[in-house]
Amino acid sequence: MTLAATTELAAATNENLASISNTLIYSAMAVYTLAFFAYIAEWLLGSRSKVGRTAAALTATTASKGPAVTAGKKGGTAVLERPQVVVRSAAGARDVPDGPGAHGGDEQGDMYGRIAISLTVLAFLVELGGVIARAASVERAPWGNMYEFNLTFSTVAVGVYLGLLALRKNVRWLGLFLITSVLLDLGLAVTVLYTASDQLVPALHSYWLYIHVSTAIFCGAVFYVGAVATILYLFKDAYENKLATGGKPGKFANSVLDRLPASASLDKFAYRVNAAVFPLWTFTIIAGAIWAGDAWGRYWGWDPKETWSFITWVAYACYLHARATAGWKGRKAAYLAMIAFGCWLFNYYGVNIFVSGKHSYAGV
């Protein structure tokens, strides 16, 4: 076979792989849509009979203290009061138990929730196949432009969610909100950000592409999961505040927010995922600086992408510091977390699309 024929065959093969990738991505979107409706069914058909549970928990009772403990000591007995468990950030604040979850503690709702998880796993595997096919079609890592980055980002975000479920973490309440935004992300990718398979610009031909960009994608996905939890925390905290002050939330708020975990649990979850991935984000910036030294002969040049990566790092550092400071827990820290994630979003979408620099690889 001649060189020309070999080249032509390779091009045809790559084109077929790109077509397979596109088909798999659209198929994944279809399955995600089915999962979305299953999550909706979990919320709608699950029990709504426990609406008063949170309201009851907010009343002045001693139930959270638990029974007294009787301890023996040299023939006598001593009665020790079990200490009250405070789940909120400020000592003495209300103690609210976690909600029953999206299914509302109902078998029918739980069934639809399990169906939703099964569909999410299937969609994740199909989308992962699409990402792998895209990588095979271009014979490189599948994150050379914003379209590929979006595909990989949404895949990793769903993978983080499924990984938490596999670790038996009670995060199924996150499913509806996560899958909704993943569908929006994929819709944006295939309509606005789509770029045909192509080779990388010379500066990206480096093994640092696999190290730096892969960690950036993973960090973004985890930050995103934390941001979703933070938004839900803000809504749930406002709901609990309204109940605590004698207010009466509407039926929709009762139906949805009463079944979410307590605001303290949501706040703790968001903090833990953000804190866990922050060191990796630090490594991402360091790896990018080393790559810049190899590619451009300087480690740091205050390029727009470098600048906003650093701003994002500072914003998350301020959030983590605030969470460790007594006066900045709760809503104040949550607002900082949202500002930090907003910096990450601008670093990705804003800098790539609207700002020119050495990292302008949007492809749109």
pLDDT in tens, 135-156: 888 888 888 788 888 999 999 9
Ranges assigned E (strand) in 171-263: none
d(CA 284, CA 340): 16
In single-letter form, the type of residue at position 17 comes to L
Q: Cα-Cα-Cα-Cα dihedral of 222, 324, 335, 40, to 10°?
A: 50
Question: Cβ distance 348 to 221 under 8 Å?
Answer: no
Pairing between strand 69-73 and 76-80? Answer: antiparallel
d(CA 344, CA 335): 14
Nearest to 337 by CA among 262, 345, 29: 345
Residue whose tokens read 């979408």: 349
pLDDT at 182: 94
84 pLDDT exceeds 60?
no
Whole-model pTM: value is: 0.81
Residue 94 Rama label (left phi>0; alpha psi -120 to 50; beta): beta
What are 299-355's pLDDT values in tens digits? Answer: 877 888 888 999 999 999 999 988 887 667 788 889 999 999 999 999 888 888 877
Helix axes 175-191, 146-166, angle to 10 degrees: 160
Give how far the C-alpha of residue 35 lies from the chain's centroid of Cα atoms, to the nearest Å: 17
Average pLDDT over all residues of the chain: 81
Buried b (16+ CB within 10 A) or exposed e, 204-241: beeebbebbbbbbbbbbbbbbbbbbbbbbbbebbbbbe
Instruction: Check residue 77 and report its DSSP letter.
Output: E
Mean pLDDT of 42-46: 88
For residue 80, give the H/E element and its range.
strand 76-80
d(CA 135, CA 277): 26
